[in-house]
A and B are shown apart, each in its own frame.
Chain A
């Protein structure tokens, strides 16, 4: 068995998860607040895995309408046409903006799927107190946190197109119901990753010897 790193619980300290101040851990029961930022102190975020899973379920349920329903409609003298997220990517691709099509594909399709898959993996392994590939899982969590908000891209694109293309009967763009579902997926996955406590990747095992030096 490899010796482990000394952790906060070994030294009787606790780090405030909001402002980072290191404090002596309170003994016994009681809810304590950080003296600097007055955020409640806990060794792990309460019900972290449950809340992560709840937001993930919401994201998965909304994922289908977000991608199947149209997110916007273009109206012109020729008629009304609905567009889905994938339709917008194909349109960029065939009109020659292949780099932008790739960027939108990554932000709108790949990133939400990556977030849902990664957080599911993190929640399951945390629940089982797994010690499998902990460093890689920590890196995966940081990746999810970093790329998380880029999925909002298509929400901004539709809102901006609504603002840009409004020439009355000649041409106009309107948002459609899929956009609401799409925005909700982005928010739900961001809340899922905010609910997850990365310290759960490293379950505390007080019986294991501590490395020195």
Chain B
């Protein structure tokens, strides 16, 4: 594998950029360590700065696929069913993430509506779908199409996905609105709780293992 210079206008004097599998480099401080196999539940830490160098991949690909499919299922339940049902003097309302965002948009707070739908709905959904995009071909021993851009997008949406914060927000808004009306928890809240746990487990599996599988030459 050789590197592609961005522009041919640059001098060609530089040598090819080749992978160096003998070393492990700390992403946070540049300290170099000899590469060594990491046990499945081991975490290798940088002696200089304390950052995680490498995490043993305890979860095989089909296990990751199971978690991700489970995540997709509870995500759909959580997004489509009401989080809570409220009652005030005979009037009933049901609240869900999409409905709350629509009402926020309609009351003029467009940027806030976009911000919350992106971080609590679009990015978590992409986190699940992009992982499936990579996992399914890998399990069938095929290279995933567009692997590099998909993996880079996956890394980005993981950073901006905030399901666990949204979950805590649900809890606090339930307590704050309890004084106004009578309130019954809906299936959405339990689905979102499960989703929080599943996404945390999926996130913990990391991207390093997927990168390794992608760059492994076809057998």
A:85-112 near B, CB below 8 Å: 88, 91-92, 95, 97, 100, 103-104, 107
A212 within 8 A of B: no
A127 within 8 A of B: no
Cα–Cα, bound, A190→B118 (Å):
15
Question: B193 at the A/B interface (Cβ < 8 Å)?
Answer: no
Q: How far is the CB of A187 from chain B (nearest CB, A)?
A: 7
Could you tell me the distance in whole angstroms from the C-beta of B110 to the nearest C-beta in chain A?
9
| Contact of B172 (CB < 8 Å), options: A38, A103, A174, A190 | A103
Please determine whether B115 and A183 come into contact, CB atoms closer than 8 angstroms: yes
Contact call A175/B165, Cβ cutoff below 8 A: no
Q: Is the CB of A153 within 8 A of B169?
A: yes
Question: Chain A residues near B13 (CB, 8 Å)?
Answer: 27-28, 30
List chain A residues, Cβ under 8 A from B119: 149, 152
Closest 9 CB pairs of A and B: A163-B100, A156-B169, A15-B25, A160-B173, A175-B109, A138-B49, A30-B10, A163-B95, A35-B1
Interface hits, B17-49 → A, CB 8 Å: 17-21, 23-32, 35, 47-49
Interface string of B97-132 (1 = CB under 8 A from A): 101110110011101110110011000000000000
Cβ distance B162 to chain A, nearest Cβ, rounded Å? 5
* Chain B interface, >50% SS class: mixed
Nearest residue (CB) in B for A4 is B48
Q: Which stretch in A47-55, A56-64, A116-124, A197-205 binds the other chain?
A: A197-205
- Complex: A182 Cα to B16 Cα, angstroms: 47
Number of A-B contacts (CB under 8 A): 270
A40 to B5, CA, bound (A): 9
* Contact present for B31 and A7 (CB under 8 Å): yes
Q: Are A28 and B116 also in contact (CB < 8 A) when A103-B172, A164-B93, A164-B95 are? A: no
Given contact pairs A34-B3, A36-B215, A139-B50, A199 touches B30 in the complex (Cβ within 8 A): yes
Chain B residue with Cβ nearest A74: B180
Report, as a range, how many residues of chain A touch the other chain: 35 or more
Interface: B176 (CB within 8 A)? yes
List of B residues within 8 angstroms of A37 by Cβ: 148, 151-152, 211
Which residues of chain B are within 8 angstroms of A68 by Cβ–Cβ distance?
Answer: none
Chain A residues with CB under 8 Å of B5's CB are 30-33
Chain B positions within 8 Å of A11 at CB level: 23, 32
Which single residue of chain A is at the shortest CB-CB distance from B166? A156
Is A206 close to B, CB under 8 A?
A: no
Q: Could you list 12 further interchain pairs (A-B, Cβ under 8 angstroms) beyond the known A35-B19, A36-B211?
A: A9-B30, A15-B25, A24-B20, A28-B14, A31-B6, A160-B169, A163-B97, A167-B89, A179-B109, A180-B111, A202-B30, A204-B30
Q: Which residues on the B side are within 8 Å of A139 (C-beta)?
A: 50
Instruction: Determine whether the beta carbon of A7 is less than 8 Å from that of B162.
Output: no
| B25 and A22 contacting across the interface, CB-CB below 8 Å | yes
Q: Whose C-beta in chain A lies nearest to the C-beta of B35?
A: A22
Interface bits B203-215 vs A (CB < 8 Å: 1, else 0):
0000110010011
* A175 and B112 in contact, given A5-B47, A159-B104, A201-B49 (Cβ under 8 angstroms): yes
Assembly CA distance A18 to B158 (angstroms): 13
